Structure 1
């Protein structure tokens, strides 16, 4: 269990810094979901084309739509 908590914590730290850039106009959110005591986190950033990006990959889904859908599915996005 400690390994899982450590792995999730390490992943969360990486995710929090993955969308950082010198451009202050970037729009990113961290969405978390608690499932069976394990927090799942993902960083979602809005690309220049308006789509949501996960791990620098275009999801082809509009950013606002992605966030809304995630929240409707039980994620908390900040």
Structure 2
């Protein structure tokens, strides 16, 4: 088995966020329970997937808002 491994294909950057204390405690308990069962709950992976979906949705909303704004501006120009 090789000790050296290829670098990860994607670069990451640190980001911190504030969570409600109760959610933080629940995550810690879940991670401890998963560890005791020989499993891992990867909160980072869950957050990345949720944020990717949120960014896609926000971009779509922005595009729609831009189209609506352009239509509104056209209507105002004609009036």
Same-fold call, TM cutoff 0.5:
no
Q: Which has the higher contact order (CA 8 A, sep 6+)?
A: 1
Higher-Rg structure is: 2
Please report the TM-score for the alignment, with normalisation by the length of structure 1. 0.28
Give 1 or 2: higher helix fraction: 2
- Taking structure 2 as the reference length, the TM-score comes to 0.28
